[in-house]
Amino acid sequence: MTTPTTIEDLRDHFAHSIQVLGGVTTASRRLGIDERAIRRFVNGERPLSARLLGDTATALRTMIDEATAAEAEIAAGLAGLDDGTGV
């Protein structure tokens, strides 16, 4: 995605990030924010803050780290299958 330039762009980017995190319920747990508050941020009923956006970026980075670790375990398991040692 390109760098957001307007409040609407930031809100759209935040809404997309919430979906990437797994939806409102999962994002609520990851961010430690009430689901209703997340919906209000997405709908523009509450202003986005630098802290909220930073926390969202941190949650996305954590998710990337978790996904990378899971991918490495799967790849290692596949390598074990390929060399005949099995899993």
Look at residue 83 and tell me whether its pLDDT is greater than 70: no
Give per-residue burial for 37-56: e unless 16+ CB within 10 Å, then b.
ebeebbeeeeebeeebbeeb
Q: Evaluate whether 20 touches 60 at the Cβ level (below 8 Å).
A: yes
User: What's the pLDDT tens digit per position in 18-72?
Assistant: 999 999 999 999 999 999 999 999 999 999 999 999 999 999 999 999 999 999 9
Please report the pLDDT score of residue 80 as a whole number.
Answer: 81
The structure's pTM equals 0.81
Burial of 12 by CB count in 10 Å (0-12 exposed, 13-18 middle, 19+ buried)?
middle
Residue 79's pLDDT band (boundaries 50, 70, 90)? confident
CA of 81: how far to CAs of 36, 41, 55, 69, 77, in Å? 46, 47, 39, 19, 6
